[in-house]
């Protein structure tokens, strides 16, 4: 296959929108013929000037005047020549395909392991539709490597992606696994360190696209906090996966939209969660975003608030209203 034919095939395999969103780009609005406008990821853009056409797989920025296809975007975004951009795109496509197959493997195994289902029930995750929506799975610690290699992946690919250790073992063994936008979160149900991610950043706020247009948003630390609030009827919830927000998450909260953020962080006995909430609230206010820490009962987080029977949806709503008063 010629270099030109290989490049054309790659452009067909990788939708431009998928790749640009994979670099944390978010559209600001949709215009005619399903085209999207947003801040340009190629220069310091103050108002949306980046046009992306998913149907034609092309982009153009009215601010910096640059445009083209997915290969041209990779060249400009990463500052690399054509050949290296091709290699980057191939690695990205392979990693995305691998991650999708890993997620499917874990989802299938969840209900084959009673200990995993029991852990979810213990954490208050009871609704089948929630398990399906979050694509929750379980890593039993066996068979992943052999199964992925039977699909054609090489051992080195699995190790580089971080799903298999250097010893060839499942990196997420004995963990509940929840997919993120560009990563995986694993929560140990045994004695191993509780939290695990794949190498690389944790990405943006969990479930952000479904709540970004809400006037009021509840921000929680953990995914199981998110889960019980969703079950209780709070569909305006997002999760930062810890109290330390990264630049992408701050940018999402401070994108210029008029909204109120309730910070329902853990009420730790040492006060660390509430201190983090107050500091984040001050930071958001400097960006003209209304933010209010929510005072949960001592020693509780949103998950235990519901699971331990401390409160219900009505009482949690009262805590939100008290935070703003």
Where residue 212 sits, what CATH number does that domain have? 3.40.1360.10
Q: Which domain holds residue 119?
A: 93-197
SS3 288: coil
Assess whether 173 and 108 both reside in one domain: yes
Domain assignment present for residue 84? The answer is: no
121 Cβ contact list (under 8 Å, min separation 6): none
| Average pLDDT value for residue range 42-50 | 91
From residue 168, give the alpha-carbon distance in Å to each of 2, 149, 154, 158, 321. 36, 11, 11, 9, 51
Single residue among 79, 102, 135 that ends a domain in this structure: 79
Domain assignment present for residue 117? The answer is: yes
Assess whether 240 and 152 both reside in one domain: no
Structure confidence at residue 1 (pLDDT):
57
Domain assignment present for residue 282? The answer is: yes
Q: What's the total number of domains in the chain?
A: 3
Which H or E element spans position 147?
helix 144-150
Higher pLDDT, 258 or 3: 258
Structure confidence at residue 112 (pLDDT):
95
- Dihedral, CA atoms, 157, 184, 254, 34, nearest 10 degrees? 70
Domain assignment present for residue 202? The answer is: no
Domain assignment present for residue 85? The answer is: no
pLDDT in tens, 228-242: 999 999 999 999 999
Beta bridge partners of 263: 219, 293
């Amino acid at each position: 296959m010629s270099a030109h034919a290989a490049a054309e095939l790659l452009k067909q395999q990788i939708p431009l929108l998928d790749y640009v969103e994979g670099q944390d780009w978010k559209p600001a609005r949709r215009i005619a013929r399903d085209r999207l406008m947003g801040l340009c990821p190629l220069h310091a853009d103050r108002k949306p000037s980046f046009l992306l056409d998913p149907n034609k797989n092309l982009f153009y920025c009215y601010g910096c005047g640059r445009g083209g296809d997915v290969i041209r975007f990779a060249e400009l975004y990463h500052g690399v020549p054509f050949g290296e951009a091709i290699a980057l795109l191939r690695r990205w496509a392979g990693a995305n395909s691998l991650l999708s197959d890993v997620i499917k493997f874990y989802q299938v195994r969840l209900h084959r392991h009673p200990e995993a289902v029991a852990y979810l029930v213990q954490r208050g995750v009871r609704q089948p539709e929630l398990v399906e929506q979050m694509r929750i799975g379980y890593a039993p610690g066996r068979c992943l490597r052999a199964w992925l290699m039977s699909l054609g992946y090489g051992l080195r690919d699995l190790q580089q992606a971080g799903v298999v250790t250097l010893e060839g073992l499942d990196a997420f063994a004995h963990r509940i696994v929840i997919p993120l936008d560009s990563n995986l979160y694993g929560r140990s149900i045994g004695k191993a360190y509780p939290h695990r991610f794949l190498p690389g950043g944790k990405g943006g706020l969990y479930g952000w696209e479904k709540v970004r247009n809400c006037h009021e948003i509840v921000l929680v630390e953990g995914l199981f906090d998110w889960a019980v609030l969703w079950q209780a009827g709070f569909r305006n919830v997002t999760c930062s996966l810890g109290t330390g927000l990264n630049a992408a998450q701050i940018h999402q909260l401070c994108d210029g939209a008029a909204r109120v953020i309730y910070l329902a962080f853990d009420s730790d006995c040492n006060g660390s969660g509430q201190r983090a909430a107050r500091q984040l609230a001050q930071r958001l206010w400097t960006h003209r975003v209304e933010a209010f820490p929510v005072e949960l009962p001592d020693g509780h987080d949103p998950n235990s608030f519901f699971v331990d029977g401390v409160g219900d949806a009505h009482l949690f709503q009262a805590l939100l209203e008290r935070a703003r008063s």
